[in-house]
Structure 1
Amino acid sequence: MSKFHGAVAIVSGRAKGVGKATYQAFVQQGARVVIADNDELAGKQTEAALNQSEEVALYAWVDIALEEGVEAMVRRAALHCGRVDVLVNWAAVFIMRGIEATVEEWQRIMDVNVMGQALCVKHVVPEMIKVGKGAVVSITSISSSIAQPHCVSYSATKEVIMNMNIFIPLCLAEKIFALMRSLLVPSGPKATRVRS
């Protein structure tokens, strides 16, 4: 039996490229996937590609910076698929700015990269509680710990994500008595370290 047979994974963002490969990997391991992205064209194309042999994918448009949108996306995923077992927080905006970043730029990158991930966790976890277990995977970056020019805004959000996911399991320990995993996957050249 495949590792994720019968499981449902919500992956936020990245309907193409490396994110598309993530969807394909889940499907190959027996999971159904929810493509949660604000790129409607790419999302529907990925949905169609994955559903060629059987219905294993659902595209759900969402702007993860808006709580009502995240809540609606998760509700739709749960109704359509019957459960949610995995959340992969891929979605991010890349605003590469130094100390000259504007208030608007800071607000946008914090809304998506930090608050967006927090909202996805907030609304997906109740569905995991119904199942009795779950896994939250957050894609961070080597930028969180490596100094780079003109990268203050982006790097700051990735460091927040690193710390946020260290504490998620502690918050959920009393709610999910089975295995609850919160993983951090740094992205970048030769970045393979995983914290749990």
Structure 2
Amino acid sequence: MLGSGLIKGLKETARNFVGSYVSEERLPTIEYPEEPAVVKENSRQFPFLVYDGDEPEAGLRCVSCQICEKECPPKCIYIVKAKDKKPDFVGKQQVYPATFDIDLSVCMSCGICAEVCPFEAIFMDTEFDLANSNRFDGLLVTKEHLAKPNAHLQKIHPTLAAGIDQRRAEAVKKQEEKRLADEAKAKADAEKKAAEAKSASSAATPASTPAAGS
């Protein structure tokens, strides 16, 4: 039917207009910035780095693999690897970034960096009010400002964070079970070798000859 799309749009507009008088959920506008905007969970703005624990440098998940830097369409990510390593959440030694910068004036919030990250270290933030009078240095964000705790991820993307936390907890549990199994095996091997050595020593010792006339 000709004009059916227009009629459908007008019906939706009228429904929201009338509904706004009885339901706050249908209010089309808010008094921003006095009233903060409610951001949906699947909203994405600019990237940030996640760290575990209380120390950003020690708990940073990023291992400086540079996949995000290579896949970034506008090439707004700049990473320099550190020369040393630090243990990750399961105790494995990993490289970490000495420098991790993102130029927000170039970033187009596509989210590809978050999609390709194999270490679940970079995600899209929901913060959007980042206006700055300095379009150059003011929008060049360094590692220190990009790093945010896992609690922030849990707050803005609770569903996503819950799944990640569960996988990481299972990985830690699996690593701990492996460590305990290795320790038990090493202990059993050591006891076996000690028993074999003791048995060999006993077999090599000649039996004492009884005294004459006894």
Structure 1-normalised TM-score?
0.26
TM-score normalised by the chain length of structure 2: 0.24
The structure whose Rg is larger is 2
